Amino acid sequence: MDIRIIGLLIGYLLGCFQTAYIVGKFIRKIDIRKFGSGNSGTTNAIRVLGWKLGAVTFFTDIFKAIIAVVIVKIIFDEPVYAYYAGLGVILGHVWPVFLKFKGGKGIASSIGVMLALEPILGLIMMVIMALAVILSKYVSLGSILMVIAIPFYLLLFRLNDTDGLELFVVGSMITIITLYKHMPNIKRLITGKETKIGHKKEVTVEVESTIET
């Protein structure tokens, strides 16, 4: 089996660890995917479970991504394979096989992946997100701008490396996946209907299992 596939599978399995879902089930006795936006990521965890459990979700999702990338780095000692592990984490987080492929949007996991693969880029992403959220009050805008930084960074600083083009393609795939999951947010931002952070709205209504926002 190609090592790239092995890296992808290792990342995918660790990515399937859904922090928000597990925290909701064991601490609040709810399926977080049936409340708020129906998403099992950090933003909905904050909205439904509160800031403390939302923070637990955020940092645990970052940590699981770092673990996946580091494991593949140690085993295979090649950056390109670790990139596939990072891509696997995002795929597992967004489409977890154990939860009928209904997960989160991959933002915290993307940060963790890049902190492990490209520490400078990971820090840049966190700064971009923080500034965008502080200035605009839109978490989604911060998330979108943050992941867009990935291909630009790799294009500027990694394209001439060994396997540089492949790293760029894999990194771009991470960006494309997270942007795809944010399409409803992008549409609401364009129409001015996106909810700002701190804005009060009904979050306790159970949602249909087919809703993914």
- Residue 87's pLDDT band (boundaries 50, 70, 90)? very high
**Which of 3-7, 43-47, 115-119 shows the lowest mean pLDDT across its residues?**
43-47
> Which tokens go with 107?
């933002």
Please report the pLDDT score of residue 39 as a whole number. Answer: 86
Q: What is the pLDDT of residue 135?
A: 95
The per-residue pLDDT for range 94-110, each reduced to its tens digit, is 999 999 899 999 999 99
* Mean pLDDT to the nearest integer, 157-181: 95
Rounded to 10 degrees, the C-alpha dihedral 157/179/127/129 comes to 170
| Predicted local confidence at residue 43, as pLDDT | 85
pTM for this model (two decimals): 0.90
Distance of alpha carbon 211 from alpha carbon 200, whole angstroms: 21
pLDDT over 60 (residue 211): no
Indicate if the pLDDT at residue 204 is higher than 80: no
Q: Does residue 77 register a pLDDT over 90?
A: no
**Mean pLDDT in the chain?**
90
**pLDDT greater than 90 at residue 47:** no
φ/ψ region of 94 (left if φ > 0, alpha if ψ in -120 to 50, else beta) reads alpha
**Rounded Cα gap, residues 98 and 202, in angstroms:** 28
- pLDDT, residue 5, reads 96
- Contact of 111 with 149, CB cutoff 8 Å: no
Give me the helices (H) in the chain, please.
3-15, 19-23, 42-49, 51-76, 79-94, 107-117, 119-136, 139-157, 164-181, 183-191
| pLDDT bucket at 205, cuts 50 / 70 / 90 | very low
Domain ranges of the chain: 3-191
Q: Is residue 213 over pLDDT 90?
A: no
The pLDDT value given to residue 65: 97
Block residue for tokens 């939302």: 54
pLDDT at 199: 61
Across the range 35-53, mean pLDDT stands at 88
